[in-house]
Amino acid sequence: MLLLTLELWLISAGLFTVVLGINDQKRLLLNDPDVIQNRLNQMESKLQDITVELNQEKQKVEHLTTQLNHQSTLISDGKPTYIRWGTHSCNTNATLIYSGQLGGTSYASTGGAANPLCMVHDVIWGSHQSEGNMAEIHGAEYQDNFWGTNTVNKDVPCAVCKPNTHSSVLMIPGRNQCLLGWTEEYHGYLSANLVSHQHTNHYICVDEKVEFLDGGAENNEGYLLYGVRAHCGSLKCPPYINGKPITCVVCSQ
């Protein structure tokens, strides 16, 4: 019995010594200035990295907020937008929302959409992939030289504009001047697809002084812009003249 008690005492004493040794090591580490300084340096370095990342994210948020506020101001102030077909810019009466290129369904298609769109240059893609059955959108070209010397096959730009002061926009076919009390945004000529082609397009007003997209002179077809002429009959002549190109003007009030 005495022997067992002695053995237990020795084991307890050994464990106590080990614990004392560990505690002494801990005290040594905690009291070592080099160890403390090294840990402080590590913490300071991590804090600096976190601060840099937070500042970068803050700048991104501020940039996005500025963009959203700008777009929200342009869109939500009650003023309409319109598309100026055939140019890159708006006149001095309006603010440019974005410039792009005219896109639409091919002149040779029997389906697709009738209306043209002003497609942005700054494209953002989604995650969906193409499937077997889908619609298509093509770029647009001026056809013939109706639009001016050497305009045939040139690719068509567009601009989305917002009047600075007016709250209504109207396209008037058959005039190149606005009605009394309205302000001109731009004037030009009506455009549509050729009557012998299969696909139907919306009538749009193309600026009289057409511009072109850079590098777009090849004959790729797609959505085609033809001038529109009067055809007398149900369309009364006068005031219209048979075969005369139809003017147009976009006005705001």
Is cis: bond before 239, omega within 30 of 0? Answer: yes
Q: Is 95 a member of any domain?
A: yes
Alpha-carbon Rg for the chain, nearest whole angstrom, is 37
Domain residue limits at 10: 2-75
Percentage of the chain exceeding pLDDT 70 = 81
Total domain count, the chain = 2
- The answer to whether residue 131 sits within a structural domain is no
159 contacts 83 by C-beta, under 8 angstroms? yes
Of 38, 53, 75, the one marking the end of a domain is 75
Give the β-pairing of 247-252 and 183-192.
antiparallel
Q: Does the residue 41 lie in any domain?
A: yes
- Beta-carbon contacts of residue 179 (< 8 Å; ≥ 6 apart): 172, 251
Asked if residue 183 belongs to a domain, the reply is yes
Please provide the average confidence, as pLDDT, over all residues in the chain: 83
Q: Are strands 157-163 and 204-207 parallel, antiparallel or unpaired?
A: unpaired
- Assign 199 a pLDDT band (cuts: 50, 70, 90): confident
- What pLDDT score does 209 carry? 93
Q: Mean pLDDT over residues 152-165, rounded?
A: 94
More confident position, 157 or 67: 157
Reported as a single tens digit per residue, the pLDDT across 172-181 is: 999 999 999 9
* 57 and 98 belong to one structural domain: no
Residue % of the chain over a pLDDT of 90: 46
Please indicate, yes or no, whether residues 208 and 159 belong to a single structural domain of this protein: yes
What does the pLDDT read at residue 2? 42
Of 71, 210, 235, 57, whose CA–CA distance to 144 is shortest? Answer: 210
pLDDT higher than threshold 70 for residue 240: yes
Q: How confident is the model over 107-135, as a mean pLDDT?
A: 89
The reply to whether 48 and 98 lie within a common domain is no
Q: Output the pLDDT for position 10.
A: 40
Q: Tell me, yes or no, whether 214 lies in a domain.
A: yes
Tens digits of residue pLDDT in 15-64: 444 444 545 555 555 566 777 777 788 888 888 888 888 888 888 777 76
56 and 103 in a single domain? The answer is no
pLDDT over 80 at 216, yes or no:
no
- Looking at the predicted structure, is the pLDDT value of residue 144 above 50? yes
Whether residue 217 contacts residue 154, with contact meaning beta carbons closer than 8 Å, is answered with yes
| Mean pLDDT confidence for 224-246 | 94
How far is the CA of 186 from the CAs of 33, 44, 97, 126, in angstroms?
78, 62, 16, 35
4: pLDDT strictly greater than 90: no
Answer for the pair 250, 190: CB distance below 8 angstroms, yes or no.
Answer: no
**DSSP letters for 89-147:** S--TTEEEEEEEEEEE--TT-SSS-SS-EEEESS----S----SS----EEEEE-TTTT
pLDDT of residue 78: 66
Backbone dihedral angles phi then psi of residue 214, each to the nearest 5 degrees: -65, 135
CA distance 51 to 38: 20
